[in-house]
Amino acid sequence: METQNIVKILIEQLNGGSAQAFDELYKLFSPRVFSFALSLSRNQTEAEDTVQEIFLKIWDKRHELSPSGSFESFLFTMSKNTILNNIRKTNYHHLFLEYKKHSTKPVSALDQELNYNELENLYKKAINKLSPRKKEIFILNQTHSLSYPEIAEKLGISTKTVRNQINAASTEIQHFISSLGFNGMLILFIFIK
């Protein structure tokens, strides 16, 4: 039987909660996810952790998976996004340590000021303040990893308009975050791809 048909059957079984189908999907795809994660992170432990994180998410989303959709495409998009988020968190940690080294504030105040989840929520709030069109373009670029030409084609606008909108969105996000007393550039550096 063709691999694509096997995957479709396994997804149907997984939708029903089959742990055996999950194990089969894990055996089938985990080596490729590991290789992909290792190629991006260049760290075996992080790659192994990524595989576990991805398949845990798959188990959690098992009822939402579509047997007719491309599981492989879904899996590698999820993998890429998870890896990029983990890299951002690692970069944040390094930036935080560097900031802490040069700051005169007490550590407890820094911990409150630079909590990753709070910063991420602040970043999302800034995105939500954008105009609907600017927000749509920014999200297509940052969340869905579409290039400027891909966004232009999808929305029927010029590449220059896309570039201008993303630049304007970045500036607005930075100003919003700065107006709240945070370093807008630092937060953009952490979250923007």
Q: What is the pLDDT of residues 75-117, one digit of tens each?
A: 888 888 787 777 666 665 555 555 555 555 544 444 444 566 6
Structure pTM?
A: 0.51
Query: What's the pLDDT at 37?
Result: 84
Residue 155 CA to residue 164 CA, distance in Å, equals 14
Taking CA atoms, 128 is separated from 35, 76, 91, 122, 176, in Å, by 35, 27, 24, 10, 11
The pLDDT confidence band at residue 22, using thresholds 50, 70 and 90, is very high
Q: What is the pLDDT of residues 24-78, one digit of tens each?
A: 999 999 999 998 888 877 888 888 988 999 999 899 889 888 888 788 888 888 8
Query: What's the pLDDT at 160?
Result: 94
Which DSSP string do the residues of the chain spell out, in sequence order? --HHHHHHHHHHHHHTT-HHHHHHHHHHHHHHHHHHHHHHH--HHHHHHHHHHHHHHHHHTTTT--TTS-HHHHHHHHHHHHHHHHHHHHHHHHHHHHHHHH--S-HHHHHHHT-HHHHHHHHHHHHHTS-HHHHHHHHHHHTS---HHHHHHHHT--HHHHHHHHHHHHHHHHHHHHHTTS-HHHHHHHH--
Residue at token pair 């952790």: 49
Q: What is the pLDDT of residues 123-159, one digit of tens each?
A: 788 899 999 999 999 988 887 778 888 899 999 999 9
Q: Which domains does the chain have, with CATH numbers?
A: 3-85 (1.10.1740.10), 115-191 (1.10.10.10)
Query: What's the pLDDT at 137?
Result: 93
Mean pLDDT value across residues 161-185: 81
Residue 95 CA to residue 41 CA, distance in Å, equals 18
Query: What's the pLDDT at 178?
Result: 74
Mean pLDDT of the chain: 80
Residue length of the chain:
193
Query: What's the pLDDT at 142?
Result: 82
Residue 149 CA to residue 165 CA, distance in Å, equals 13
Query: What's the pLDDT at 136?
Result: 93
Of all residues in the chain, the percent with pLDDT exceeding 70 is: 76
Closest to 121 measured CA to CA, from 182, 49, 50: 182
